[in-house]
Amino acid sequence: MADKKATRAAYGETLVKLAQTNDKIVVLDADLAEATTSKKFKEAYPDRFFDCGIAECNLVGMSAGLSTMGYIPFCSTFAIFGTGRAYEIYRNAVCYPKFNVKLCCTHAGITVGEDGGSHQAIEDIALMRVIPGNTVVVPADYNEAVKAIEAVSKMQGPAYVRLGRAPGEVLDDMPFELGKANVLRDGADVAVFACGYMVAEVLHAAETLAAEGKSVAVINVHTIKPIDEQTVMQYAQKCKNVVTVEEHSVIGGLGDAVAEVLMGKVDCKFKRIGVNDQFGQSGKYQDLLVEYGLDEKSVTDAIRAVL
């Protein structure tokens, strides 16, 4: 682990590379091409880029239409708008008919920072996970975001990819397969399932706890839906202590997805770490992580308390 790069930085760069060999890829944005980084695609392929203005429902609806013509639309805006304002359009015009649209939203979670609670999407995983047939992906770092975008471009059907604004650690290279979690660190005392920005924080917490003689398994659940039930079951049965960590509400996100797999099947201690039924607020993202108990120290203390 060394450099820091935001997962959103992977978006425009990866689409430019994919478009070189796939002329069916088109990109749509809602007047946020600079922030979502889709501007890079616009510069490389102006005839395959569509700025829909501040009209997110049209953005998703146009993407649905383009998919019926054989194109692979990548539909980008901030997570709060793509999953919130355009929710009904995405549900009924994309997912209901199973169209091949990729909703890739940046600026998710409280690490949006100074934009404040109105722009910090902490319910988006829950909203996207509940839609039948929708694939939900939350990359842990820049490299995994590249692989996630490549993977959803090849799959058939709707997919939501959650990307962040804040720079995060670039982790050691890892394999990527949709629906298959990555075990980044084996352990026997507690299994910690994490996604997105929180994966790096959990890895640091595991190192601290290892120095105290505690054996912590760290599992990167990059695909929230379909979730890797086999790996979840395996590590819950092995460790008997389960913790989930996400930069999202504890309601409806990764924690609930893991709990649904284990409910009535595994007897284990279970704790969800995330945003506890409250909105975000304006502030530097580092300070917000501390405020909401999602910084390395807070996560370490919470895992230690379970043990």
Number of structural domains the chain divides into: 2
Residues 6 or more apart whose CB falls under 8 angstroms from that of 208 comprise: 296, 300
Same domain, 135 and 47: yes
Give yes or no: residues 137 and 186 share one domain: no
Does residue 56 carry a catalytic annotation?
yes
Q: CB of 190 within 8 A of CB of 216?
A: yes
Residue 192 β-bridge partners = 218, 243
CA distances to 33, 108, 114, 185, 290 from 283, in Å: 24, 15, 5, 32, 11
Tell me, yes or no, whether 127 and 193 share the same domain.
no
Q: From the CA atom positions of the chain, what is the Rg in Å?
A: 19
For residue 275, give Cα distances in angstroms to 47, 162, 222. 41, 17, 19
Longest CA–CA span in the chain (Å) reads 58
pLDDT for 1 equals 46
**Which residues partner with 241 through β-bridges?**
269
Amino acid letter for position 173:
D
Domain end position, chosen among 118, 136, 169: 169
CB 142 within 8 A of CB 168: yes
Confidence of residue 268 (pLDDT cuts 50, 70, 90): very high
Both 80 and 16 in a single domain?
yes
**23 and 120 within one domain:** yes
pLDDT per position as a tens digit, 223-266: 999 999 999 999 999 999 999 999 999 999 999 999 999 999 99
Q: Give the list of residues 6+ apart from residue 111 with CB closer than 8 angstroms, or none.
A: 164, 165, 166, 197, 247, 285, 288, 289
pLDDT at 124: 98
**CB within 8 A of 180, min separation 6: which ones?**
223, 228, 231
Q: Is residue 175 part of a domain?
A: no
Tell me which of 114, 140, 169 is where a domain ends: 169
Strands 168-169 and 4-5: antiparallel
Q: Are residues 217 and 113 in the same domain?
A: no
Average pLDDT for residues 74-80, to the nearest whole number? 98
3-state secondary structure string across the chain: CCCEECCCHHHHHHHHHHHCCCCCEEEEECCCHHHHCCHHHHHHCHHHEEECCCCHHHHHHHHHHHHCCCCEEEEEEEHHHHHHHCHHHHHHHHHCCCCCCEEEEECECHHHHHHCCCCCECCHHHHHHCCCCCEEECCCCHHHHHHHHHHHHHCCCCEEEECCCCCEECCCCCCCECCECEEEECCCCEEEEECCCHHHHHHHHHHHHHHCCCCEEEEECCEEECCCHHHHHHHHHHHCEEEEEEEEECCCCHHHHHHHHHCCCCCCEEEEEEECCCCCCCCCHHHHHHHCCCCHHHHHHHHHHHC
Here the CATH number for the domain that contains residue 254 is: 3.40.50.920
Residue type, 5: K
Cα–Cα distance between 185 and 217 in angstroms, integer? 5
Write down the pLDDT at residue 2: 60
Residue 174 lies in a domain: no
Is 57 inside any structural domain? Answer: yes
| 115 is a domain residue | yes
User: Is it the case that residue 3 has pLDDT exceeding 90?
Assistant: no
- Which domain-ending residue is among 126, 143, 169? 169
- Cβ burial of 213 (10 Å; 0-12, 13-18, 19+) is exposed
Tell me: do 164 and 273 sit in the same domain.
no
Q: Does the residue 176 lie in any domain? A: no
- pLDDT of 17 over the 50 cut: yes
The verdict on 110 and 193 lying in the same domain is no
Residues 205, 156 share a domain: no
Query: Mean pLDDT across the chain, nearest whole number?
Result: 97
For residues 108 and 187, what is the distance between their CA atoms, to the nearest angstrom?
Answer: 30
Residue 33 pLDDT more than 90?
Answer: yes
Q: Are residues 14 and 155 in the same domain?
A: yes
pLDDT at 137: 98
Q: What share of the chain in percent tops pLDDT 70?
A: 99
- If asked whether residues 204 and 261 sit together in one domain, one would say yes
From the candidates 13, 34, 43, 56, which is the catalytic residue? 56
Domain residues for the domain of 151 are 4-169
Placement of tokens 């796939």 in the chain? 22
Mean pLDDT score, 167-193? 97
Tens digits of per-residue pLDDT, 38-60?
Answer: 999 999 999 999 999 999 999 99
Tokens matching residue 82? 């793509």
Q: Are residues 37 and 164 in the same domain?
A: yes
pLDDT tens per residue across span 84-133? 999 999 999 999 999 999 999 999 999 999 999 999 999 999 999 999 99
